[in-house]
Amino acid sequence: MSIELEHLEKQITELKVQMEALSGRVPKDKLSMIVFSGDLDKALASFIIATGAVAMGMEVVMFFTFWGTPVLRDKKKAAGRKDLMGTMFGAMLPKGASAVKLSKMNMGGMGTAMMKSLMQKKNVATLDEMIEMAGELGVKIYVCEMSMDLMGFKREEMIDYPGLDYAGVATFLEEAMDSKVQLFL
């Protein structure tokens, strides 16, 4: 066999190895989203994007952290004993999707009330309805355990949601690593 042919075979073998390594790293038709904000408009946008992505056939994972976490608190549930900081955060932060406010033009709650009224008139789903729809469509939600710990939130005060789990940042990053789309809202 000639040296040139041996060289070509070696190159082909190397290319095959590289292609196999790359094939395992091809992103999935998946959206991974960090929901950092607990503002009404940003939370709505997060769920509109999530449900839209599912409607397009994508897998969706949402990671709620810091100020996004209170959106997932159930207004009807109470948690057990909390320390002073947990009690303060619980009192100061909204309890559930229906209690969140607009990020801009809130005007002491008037802006939020106007937006909710307009949404009702235009038959736009409420944030609670969007969350329910996301659950029905199979959107996976992770709640940041560190954020819950810092703010003193307990699992028993979170909403009942079919795809809700508790995780750290490493779990979310594993999900995001093979996603075609990653967003931070």
pLDDT of residue 9: 87
Q: Is the pLDDT of residue 25 over 80?
A: no
Max mean pLDDT range (27-31, 42-46, 101-105)? 42-46
Instruction: Please report the domains of the chain, with CATH numbers, ordered by start residue.
Output: 27-184 (3.40.1260.10)
Nearest to 161 by CA among 142, 138, 135, 137: 135
Look up residue 178 and give its amino acid. Answer: D
| Mean pLDDT over the full length of the chain | 91
Burial class (CB in 10 A: 0-12, 13-18, 19+), 81: exposed
42-52 pLDDT, tens per residue?
999 999 999 99
pLDDT of residue 1: 60
Nearest to 165 by CA among 62, 86, 80: 62
Going by C-beta distance under 8 Å and a sequence separation of 6 or more, which residues neighbour residue 24?
A: none
The pLDDT of 137-159, averaged and rounded, is 95
Q: Put residue 138 in one of left, alpha, beta given phi > 0 → left and psi -120 to 50 → alpha.
A: left
pLDDT of residue 48: 97
Cβ-contact 96, 66 below 8 angstroms = no
pLDDT of residue 21: 73
Q: Is the pLDDT of residue 10 over 90?
A: no
pTM of the shown model: 0.84
